[in-house]
Amino acid sequence: MDDQWLSQLPIKGITKAIPVGGGDVNQAFRLETKDDNYFLLVQPNTKADFYAGEIAGLKAFEKADVLAPRVLGNGQINGDAYLVLNYLESGSGDQSDLGELVAKLHQHYSPNGQFGFDLPYVSNDESFDNSWTDSWSELFVDHRLDRLRDALMKKHLWNDHDAEKYQQAREVILDKLSKHESEPSLLHGDLWGGNYMFLTDGRPALIDPASFYGDREFDLGITTVFGGFDADFYAAYNAVYPLDPGANERLNFYRLYYLMVHTNKFGTMYKSSADSAMTQILEQK
């Protein structure tokens, strides 16, 4: 990151730009000034609106009083999109507090009573239509699962047998969701173990959202795929916002979604796990 590029940011007096982990999508830097630190995300050769969805999610979190990074600046420099956030110093904390924070997030509902978001989800691998709908099944199955099925078939990561098994699982999902009363909660949208942190004072914070309004079980299903959330997290969540009967079965739907996302993104290493998730769904008939 050269000085000429950095000088165009809406931050004065930058003394260092240190590369840090920012996931597998962005270049990320810790910016140091005499008085403060900042977090910079960069997407080369991309328009500034690449970050529009993330910005909208972070602002929704702020409105819901859910601790997350604050948006300080966004734009384009020399053809590169950037997003500047305040820098959160990492510490340690209690999973119970994290469970309560996620439950608090999920108790903020769509302002129009519908499922979706004002902006689509956009990434380098796959984008999803978040158009508002009265039906959770339409948003989740038609606009997400089916789109992933099509992407996996197009990339030859799935064959006809996989597509047929998916179709059978899809019927179970639609049947079960038709009997479940979903509410359009504010979701993180990508709540795996790498997208939360504890600050130096022990408070939990949520980072890197892919937010929209959907069934809260979507977020919880994702938490179960790669770990990072312990029994204290789920107990605290359920104490604040108890789950509905049958939730444990429905979490399989969202595990399948997340494993399909990873198969699409990383290839066949996740294919067998997605197949196992479909098998578990079919056992729920």
* Residue 240 and residue 99 in contact, taking contact as beta carbons nearer than 8 Å: yes
Active site residue 2: no
Residue 168 falls in which region: left (phi positive, over 0), alpha (psi -120 to 50) or beta: alpha
Q: Identity (one letter) of the amino acid at 40? A: L
Q: 100: which residues sit within 8 A by CB, 6+ positions away?
A: 236, 237, 240
* Residue 260 and residue 274 in contact, taking contact as beta carbons nearer than 8 Å: yes
Integer Cα distance of 276 and 272 in angstroms? 6
Q: What is the arrangement of strands in the sheet containing 27-33, beginning at the earlier edge strand? A: 14-19, 27-33, 37-43, 80-86, 71-77
Angstrom distances, CA of residue 117 to CA of 150, 170, 206, 212, 284 = 22, 23, 19, 5, 31
Indicate which residue of 80, 162, 190, 215 is catalytic: 190
Name the residues annotated as catalytic. Answer: 190
